[in-house]
A = this chain, B = another copy of it.
Amino acid sequence: MSITETNLRVRLAGEGPTVSRIAYGVWRLLDDREGASVRRVLDKIHACLDCGITTFDHADIYGGYGCEEAFGEALRASPGLREKIEIVTKCGIMLVDPARPENRIKHYDYSRRHIVSSVERSLRNLATDHLDVLLLHRPSPLLDPDEVAGTFERLRREGKVLHLGVSNFAPSQLEMLQSRLASRIVTNQVEVNPLRQDAFVDGTLDQCQRLGISPMAWSPTAGGRIFHGGGDVERRVRGALGELARKYAATPDAILFAWLLKHPSKMVPVLGTNRIDRIRSAASALAIDLDLQDWFFLWTASTGWEVP
């Protein structure tokens, strides 16, 4: 399989933005051993672009409310770069953090007031006049779908947020919110990896396919546990990845991403690494067409038993 425009990009939910098949997650941007200077951030952005990765996944809270700003400084220093990328960011989690002294307890806020102020802060931090996609970071038991829908419609009319998505939403929560929106929820960003198969069987990915939503997959490596975890399951999955890597003459990372990319929902894995070699390695997955039996080989390595 060669890397072509077709397998490099996907349009979210038919009417959503066109994004790269792999997104780069900036979650740990400030944890880079080589620092978070404008130079370093730009190096990583360009490494992504060189691999066809144009979509960057943020959240207001990443890096103690600091990642957006570090990324925004890189954009400011590099005129024209904004037009080459898509920015996804999130709102709604309220951390107890020195940067937010008003928060006495971790909670969620999807009031009009908070969504608007969070978006406006993200726009300033990211040095941009629009977000391609805004995600509601986690479902709240107090989420009022009418208030959220009205707020998003206003932000969309103002050109500040082009598309709305959700993250970690159960099907019933997504359906509740969708019922109030004139436009489509363009993605549901959920945890998916060989150690975390829930989304395959609990209706989350079924709903995405039914509604034509492309899910995003956070933590494709289970936060590194797939490569470093010491349990039986981790060892089995690592063994299977190694065996397939040899068969396909690829890296285990690439096999892992190819496993996610094979899902018919056109899932967009979110790559979270500060190492440029790993960006390239993951992106090489776009050229791998994993055989059906090999896909189940990795599935089965994780569950520990054959499919029913």
Contacts and interface: CB of A to CB of B under 8 A. Distances in A.
B107 A176 contact: no
A138 B105 contact: no
Given A138-B308, A143-B264, A209-B145, A111 B299 contact: no
Number of contact residues on A: which range applies? 35 or more
Contact of A203 (B141, B172, B295, B297): B172
Given A207-B176, A210-B179, A141 B108 contact: no
A108 B103 CA distance: 49
Given A105-B296, A106-B306, 15 more contacts: A104-B293, A106-B300, A107-B296, A108-B296, A109-B292, A141-B299, A142-B264, A142-B295, A145-B210, A168-B308, A170-B203, A172-B202, A172-B203, A172-B206, A179-B210
Can you tell how many copies of this chain the complex includes? 3
Interface in A217-275: 262-264
Contact of A176 (B173, B206, B295): B206
A308 B137 CA distance: 10
A307 interface: yes
A107 B142 CA distance: 36
Interface in A268-286: none
Given A105-B296, A141-B263, A264-B142, A175 B206 contact: yes
A17 interface: no
Interface string A137-160: 010011111110000000000000
A105 B206 contact: no
Interface in A91-122: 94, 103-109, 111
A34 B274 CA distance: 68
A183 interface: no
Nearest to A264: B144
A138 B307 CA distance: 10
B142 A292 contact: yes
Contact of A172 (B103, B207, B306): B207
Given A141-B201, A142-B295, A197-B141, A307 B207 contact: no
A100 to B, nearest CB: 11
Interface string A70-101: 00000000000000000000000010000000
A171 interface: yes
16 contacts: A94-B293, A104-B297, A105-B300, A106-B300, A107-B292, A107-B295, A107-B296, A108-B296, A145-B264, A146-B264, A147-B264, A170-B203, A171-B172, A171-B203, A172-B203, A176-B207
Nearest to A96: B306
A106 to B, nearest CB: 4
A142 B141 CA distance: 32
Contacts of A201: 141, 170
A296 B145 CA distance: 19
Nearest to A174: B206
